[in-house]
């Protein structure tokens, strides 16, 4: 039966592809966005748009009445610019406050959503070396770990309203259009590609198509709630990731970028992007989710052959 779905952050990479997937299966999508005109230009087939300032829930909360599910993807970009204290405040607020105000908005609805799916990040775990990380693993203590903890806590409060809540701890989504893979492509094409840091850190990844399918799976699976790792079951070391990318692109992969150089270029973000997180999607696998792209080389060939 078609569902009525509200999505925040729909103009991002994941959001646009998720909107397409939901519409393709017959669901009705309402996009909550700061800029309706921009949203209509980027997401052509969606008919319903709501102007959304997450700081002002009184302006949009009634638009959630009768919605079957809310998928919350919004949040300031993490890795694309230096972390000034002002920008770190925005990274936290755009996740914590936006989630808090969505849950507050649910309180006053006559017909509340049945499901609230909030994006999250494997950054919750912080830098944990070679430790195998499942949903039961302890969290980190760095800035992004604390952001993820605050983000998840606000989302979890929706469960007190009888709403099924899921926070997806996402690993970086591989897609040549945006994100980590796009960042790697230019140096490789210029024959200066290679690992970030020492190359020994674990890199958890997900093909964008699998990530979109995870959202659909969680949306439809009433037995899934709480924390769910959204990551390929086969994390690799950074040197393996870049070596495989070089193989697929037929380019060398031995130009390491030391952490101290990354710190000069990106500041505090350098420690974030070289953290070691060996994440396993235990709950998804136990629930029967079938990853289409389990193998990194196959995933990269699929993505880059489409360019």
Distance between CA atoms of 157 and 103, rounded to whole angstroms?
A: 7
| Confidence class for position 257, pLDDT limits 50, 70, 90 | confident
Answer whether residue 307 shows pLDDT above 60.
Answer: no
Distance between CA atoms of 19 and 27, rounded to whole angstroms?
A: 9
| Confidence class for position 260, pLDDT limits 50, 70, 90 | low
Other beta carbons within 10 Å of 56: 11
Q: Give the residue-averaged pLDDT of 244-268.
A: 83
Answer whether residue 263 shows pLDDT above 80.
Answer: no
Q: Give the residue-averaged pLDDT of 122-127.
A: 96
Answer whether residue 265 shows pLDDT above 70.
Answer: no
Does 122 or 191 have the greater pLDDT score? 122
Q: Give the residue-averaged pLDDT of 192-198.
A: 88
Q: pLDDT tens digit string along 141-173? A: 999 999 999 999 999 999 999 999 999 999 999
Question: What percentage of the chain has pLDDT greater than the value 70?
Answer: 98
Q: pLDDT tens digit string along 52-108? A: 999 999 999 999 999 999 999 999 988 767 889 999 999 999 999 999 999 999 998
- Spell 74-104 as b/e; 16+ CB within 10 A means b: bbbebeeeebeeeeeeebbbbbbebbbbbbe
* Chain centroid offset of residue 150 CA: 16
Q: Give the residue-averaged pLDDT of 126-148.
A: 96
**What is the structure's pLDDT at 268?**
80
**What is the structure's pLDDT at 80?**
66
**What is the structure's pLDDT at 203?**
96
Q: Report the chain's mean pLDDT, rounded to a whole number.
A: 93
- Spell 212-234 as b/e; 16+ CB within 10 A means b: bbbbebbbebeebbebbbbbbbe
**What is the structure's pLDDT at 214?**
98
Asked which of 117-131, 174-188, 277-291 is least confident by mean pLDDT, the reply is: 174-188
**What is the structure's pLDDT at 227?**
98
Q: pLDDT tens digit string along 14-48? A: 999 999 999 999 999 999 999 999 999 999 899 99
**What is the structure's pLDDT at 264?**
66
Architecture of domain 4-174+205-233+280-294: 3-Layer(aba) Sandwich (3.40)
Q: Give domain limits for the chain.
A: 4-174+205-233+280-294
Distance between CA atoms of 73 and 85, rounded to whole angstroms?
A: 23
Distance between CA atoms of 225 and 103, rounded to whole angstroms?
A: 16
């Amino acid at each position: 039966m078609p569902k009525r779905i509200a999505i925040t952050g729909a103009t991002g990479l994941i959001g646009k592809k998720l909107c397409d997937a939901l519409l393709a299966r017959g669901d009705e999508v309402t996009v909550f966005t700061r800029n309706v005109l921009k949203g209509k230009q980027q997401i052509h087939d969606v008919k319903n748009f709501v102007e959304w300032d997450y700081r002002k829930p009184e302006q949009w909360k009634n638009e959630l009445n009768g919605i079957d599910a809310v998928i919350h993807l919004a949040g300031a970009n993490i890795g694309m610019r230096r972390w000034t204290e002002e920008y770190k405040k925005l990274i936290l607020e755009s996740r914590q406050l936006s989630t808090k105000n969505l849950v507050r908005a649910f309180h006053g609805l006559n017909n509340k959503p049945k499901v609230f799916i909030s994006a999250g990040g494997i950054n919750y775990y912080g830098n944990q070396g070679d430790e195998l990380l499942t949903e039961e693993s302890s969290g980190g203590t760095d800035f992004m770990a604390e952001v993820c903890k605050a983000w998840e806590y606000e989302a979890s409060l929706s469960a007190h309203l009888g709403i099924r809540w899921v926070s997806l701890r996402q690993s970086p989504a591989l897609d040549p259009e945006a994100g980590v893979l796009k960042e790697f492509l230019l140096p490789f094409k210029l024959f200066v590609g290679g690992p970030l840091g020492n190359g020994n850190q674990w890199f958890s990844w997900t093909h964008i198509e699998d990530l979109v399918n995870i959202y659909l799976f969680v949306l439809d699976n009433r037995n899934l709630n709480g924390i769910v790792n959204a990551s390929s079951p086969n994390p690799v070391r950074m040197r393996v990731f870049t070596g495989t990318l070089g193989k697929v692109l037929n380019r060398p992969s031995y130009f390491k970028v030391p952490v101290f150089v990354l710190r000069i270029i990106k500041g505090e973000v350098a420690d974030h992007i070289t953290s070691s997180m060996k994440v396993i999607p235990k709950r998804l696998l136990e629930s029967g989710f079938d990853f289409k792209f389990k193998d990194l080389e196959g995933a990269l060939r699929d993505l880059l052959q489409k360019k």
